[in-house]
Amino acid sequence: MHAPDEDRTLDDLAERLQRDDPRFAAAFAQGLPCRPREYRRGVAWLTLAVGLGLLGMGIVFGHGLLLAGGLVVSGAAGHLFDPNREHIRRGTPPPS
């Protein structure tokens, strides 16, 4: 049998999972596989492809604005690959 403290801890964990990633929590409740948010990186890959495309066009055409734009967009895409980027939205220090 579970102690009341253990049940409360499990309920708190379930609430936090629902709040942090509702899609994953719903899939988990239904028994369907769903990757957690920190492993969904489709937008990051798309942003990186656009940034590298701009960078390549800037090199081919010798256009400084395309080069700079490609570097900026590629840098932003690199930031999107960070699995612990949630702390930035909340304004808290990163987890150690």
User: How do residues 2-61 score in pLDDT, each as one tens digit?
Assistant: 566 777 888 888 888 788 878 777 777 777 766 666 666 788 899 999 999 999 999 999
Largest Cα–Cα distance of the chain, in whole Å? 71
Residue 79 confidence (pLDDT) above 80: yes
Q: Are 41 and 56 in contact (CB under 8 A)?
A: no
Q: Can you give the pLDDT at residue 31? A: 76
